[in-house]
Amino acid sequence: MKEMEYYIAELKECVNQNNRNKVVVDGAIEDLFRDLLISISDSYLMAYEENNLEKMKQLLEEQRKLRIEMTKELNKSADQILLLSAKIVDQYNIFNKIYQNLAINKKVKVNTKFIEAQHKDARDIMEFLYKHLHARYKDLTELGISKSSVADTLKALENAGLVNGIQCENCVFYELSSEGQEYIRTKIENID
């Protein structure tokens, strides 16, 4: 980002001037920094709204480089401008967490689509589990699905983290995980 490069150049000049003159940073550099954070936030939010993981990843990498450059320059400064450094670290951490969550959600959706393509009864089983908390294997076979299909589909859904199996004395109860519940709500209107 051109704003980052410009900011780093301004920061270097300010640090050099401060070290020579032993003066406190003026408000101009803080205003410039504030504008940079707003610009970065706008870019992150646009990428988030577009669900563009590649753009978010690129922005995170650029901001990581900015943090490294800032740290190098601030270590040379007598004042160290810790507040500015902390703000960019906080912003980076927030958007990194958003990126990680989006990446995980995308992976869950891809896994679920793959499972639905491989197991034709996956959605029916997920819908049944959504409506019936703690269903038994026997309950699922009463849907008219063969026992082997129920077993294979449940195993695939469990491996993907969409279904949880709860072992009790003689049987296993199945329920949708929170990811499974979220997915099925997006696929079946008015399920609640």
174 beta partners: 135, 165
Cα(181)–Cα(124) distance, integer angstroms: 13
Per-residue pLDDT tens digits for 15-69: 666 555 554 445 666 677 677 777 777 787 788 777 777 888 888 788 778 777 7
- Identity of the amino acid at 81: I
Closest CA to 152 of 169, 171, 137, 173: 137
- Compute the CA torsion angle 47, 52, 53, 56 (nearest 10 deg): -20
pTM of the model: 0.46
Give 78's Cβ-side CA count (13 Å radius).
10
Residues 6 or more apart in contact with residue 160 via CB below 8 angstroms? 108, 111, 112, 115
Higher confidence at residue 12 or residue 136?
A: 136
φ and ψ at residue 31, rounded to 5 degrees = -65, -40
**CA-CA-CA-CA torsion sign (181, 185, 187, 192):** positive
Per-residue pLDDT tens digits for 121-180: 988 999 999 999 889 888 988 889 999 999 999 998 888 888 999 888 888 899 998 888
- Report whether 88 contacts 66 (CB < 8 A): yes
* For range 68-97, the mean pLDDT: 67
